[in-house]
Amino acid sequence: MVLSRKEIAARVAKDIPDGSYVNLGIGIPTLVADFIPDDREIILHTENGLLGMGPAAEEGHEDPDLINAGKIYVTEGVGASYFHHADSFAMMRGGHLDVCVMGAYQVSVDGDLANWRTDSPSVIPGVGGAMDLASGARRVFVIMDLFSRSGECKIVRECTYPLTGKSCVERIYTDIALFETGADKLVVLDIFDEGDIDSLAERIGLDLVDGRTS
């Protein structure tokens, strides 16, 4: 069994420490807002100028003026505040975010991140605030499918796409397994399908360290 995107987002939400200030990137990461545990105070930040973002708005209750950076209708939590776009980027660049959750095209074993463009001529590149987040957040988590639509593993020895940041990714949450990067090694913290670590290593073509606890 592999995890759905919602299940991956729920796992990320569970792993974010209480009291954290967190930015959720565009795409799958936005789902994390819907799974924040009720017993934790996790303050969500969006780069278009909102601190204290809540989960996605229910259908029929959307506020056209209340969206996140991915243009998804969201809600506001108690005590939410609004500010200028420039102030939002100052928060990102100034090291005020504890965790950033982003998607990726590729992540290297060392934690290099490539998430703003590929080599496809049909894709219009746009880095947005990704570089600011990758360098400014204290911890960077990535959510992505482990394999691309063409079957290529997105975790690689070295990124072949233009980098967003170097050695910035700490954890990689995928539909098949949870990984931790660093020091030229890829540590497996959990496996979600029925395979073992040896078969997983063969599938992705990389050496793996078993970091699972019994």
pLDDT tens for the 214 residues of the chain, in order: 789 999 999 999 999 999 999 999 988 999 999 999 999 999 999 999 999 999 999 999 999 989 988 889 999 999 999 999 999 999 999 999 999 999 999 999 999 999 998 877 776 667 788 999 999 999 999 999 999 999 999 999 999 999 999 999 999 999 999 999 987 889 999 999 888 999 999 999 999 999 997 5
The dihedral formed by the CA atoms of 162, 105, 107 and 116, expressed in degrees to the nearest 10: 40
**Is the residue at 212 inside a domain?**
no
Mind giving me the DSSP string for 15-48? HSPTT-EEEE-SSGGGGGGGG--TTS--EEEETT
Q: What is the CATH number of the domain that holds 200?
A: 3.40.1080.10
**Is the residue at 213 inside a domain?**
no
- Report the candidate in 88, 97, 126, 134 with the shortest Cα–Cα distance to residue 16: 97
**Is the residue at 147 inside a domain?**
yes
12, 143 Cβ separation under 8 angstroms: yes
Which residue carries 């229910």 as its tokens? 58
> What is the model's pLDDT at position 27?
87
**Is the residue at 15 inside a domain?**
yes
**Is the residue at 210 inside a domain?**
no
Mind giving me the DSSP string for 100-150? EEE--SEEETT--EE-S--S-TTS----TTHHHHHHHSSEEEEE--SB-TT
Domain that holds residue 161: 5-205
> What is the model's pLDDT at position 58?
94
- Tell me the one-letter amino acid at 102: M
Element (H, E) at 68: none
> What is the model's pLDDT at position 213?
78
Burial group, residue 41, by CB count within 10 angstroms (0-12, 13-18, 19+): exposed
119, 111 Cβ separation under 8 angstroms: no
Rounded to two decimals, the pTM is 0.94
Catalytic residue among 47, 59, 180, 202: 47
Q: How many structural domains comprise the chain?
A: 1
CA atoms within 13 A on the CB side of 9: 19
> What is the model's pLDDT at position 69?
84
Beta bridge partners of 113: 107, 165
**Is the residue at 160 inside a domain?**
yes
47 labelled catalytic: yes
